[in-house]
């Protein structure tokens, strides 16, 4: 195991030769440099596409069986996990417990830095125990430099409980080796501001989490085509989006789409099924439940039976 006290050799801690004169650049030069370096975040994610695809497939399998997805990290890594988890309920109408973000220091660490807590592996272990992680669950540990004891403790505890573990880091395995079921390395290189992993490393991590959660939700039937048919209609913007989805996919007028949405209890997926099958709300809900919420499968099944 790598000596966690000496970190100067880590890719994320090295000095970027392209930004040695950072403090002498004008604003436009700063922006151009950032833009150039940020391209490496996209390339880093592309380099981990096979591992990301495996994470999507295996996470969806666990969630199909009743499991949950947890992100765990400290500092920026933890905040990114909490952000991705928090965006799942409004986007995909998932219950809050399905995808959860855990950050060292708890909710207070989202607003105020509590970086010292990342050094406590036992706190990571406790976080896993508190949430009663089981073999159906998936735990994604996020640590840009790969060495965070809090994340290591959490993932080791999760593995002991039989959970699927995913390790996301921005350093190569030869610098920080860690045993997890899926090992995702986002190699973005040295930061413009040496060691500031909220920059390229954070950007690549956000991209990877976007892919992971969205990909899993697609596999869970939360999407029809490229429409978020499980969107939670909780404000005017989302109601407008719901109506446009119904209009586009059914050809109904806005008024008719609004009536259909209300009859469905403001559930876009159910409204579409009702329109395409002629079923009422109760029968439509039963059909969707029978097909684990997958609209396409439910509609195809109904048509085959007719």
Interhelix angle 236-250/268-277, nearest 10 degrees: 20
Active-site residue, from 13, 37, 118, 125: 118
| Whole-number Å distance between alpha carbons of 75 and 139 | 17
CA dihedral defined by 8, 11, 12, 15, rounded to 10 degrees?
A: 70
- Which structure tokens are listed for 138? 């998936």
What does 224-247 look like in DSSP terms, one character per residue? Answer: BTTB-TT----SHHHHHHHHHHHH
Active-site residue, from 61, 87, 115, 285: 87
Asked if 87 is an active-site residue, the reply is yes
Measured distance between the N- and C-terminal CA atoms of the chain, rounded to whole angstroms: 61
Residue 268 CA: distances (Å) to CA of 78, 89, 94, 218, 299? 32, 14, 14, 16, 14
To 5 degrees, how large is the angle CA 91–CA 96–CA 99?
80
Asked if 118 is an active-site residue, the reply is yes
Q: Active-site residue numbers?
A: 87, 118
């Amino acid at each position: 195991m790598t000596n966690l006290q000496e970190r100067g050799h880590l890719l994320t801690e090295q000095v970027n030769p392209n930004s040695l004169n950072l403090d002498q650049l004008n604003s436009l030069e700063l922006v151009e440099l950032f833009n150039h370096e940020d391209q490496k975040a996209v390339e880093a994610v592309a380099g981990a596409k096979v591992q990301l695809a495996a994470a999507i497939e295996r996470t969806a399998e666990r969630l199909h069986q009743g499991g949950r997805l947890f992100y765990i990290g400290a500092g920026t890594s933890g905040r990114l996990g909490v952000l991705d988890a928090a965006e799942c309920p409004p986007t995909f109408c998932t219950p809050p417990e399905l995808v959860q973000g855990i950050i060292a220091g708890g909710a207070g660490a989202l607003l105020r830095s509590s970086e010292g807590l990342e050094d406590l592996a036992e706190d990571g272990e406790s976080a896993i125990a508190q949430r009663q992680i089981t073999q159906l669950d998936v735990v994604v540990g996020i640590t840009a430099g790969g060495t965070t004891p809090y994340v290591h403790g959490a993932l080791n505890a999760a593995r002991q409980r039989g959970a699927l573990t995913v390790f996301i880091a921005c350093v190569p395995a030869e610098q920080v080796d860690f045993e997890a079921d899926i090992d995702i390395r986002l190699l973005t290189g040295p930061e413009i501001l040496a060691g500031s992993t909220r920059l390229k490393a954070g950007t690549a991590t956000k991209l990877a989490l976007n892919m992971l959660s969205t990909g899993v939700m697609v596999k869970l039937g939360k999407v029809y085509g490229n429409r978020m048919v499980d969107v939670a209609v909780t404000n005017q913007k989302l109601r407008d989006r719901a109506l446009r989805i119904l209009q586009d996919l059914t050809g109904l007028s806005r008024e008719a789409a609004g009536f259909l949405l209300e009859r469905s209890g403001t559930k876009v997926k159910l409204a579409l099924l009702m329109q395409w099958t002629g079923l009422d709300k109760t029968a439509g809900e039963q059909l969707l439940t029978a097909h684990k919420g997958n609209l396409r499968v439910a509609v195809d099944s109904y048509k085959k039976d007719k």
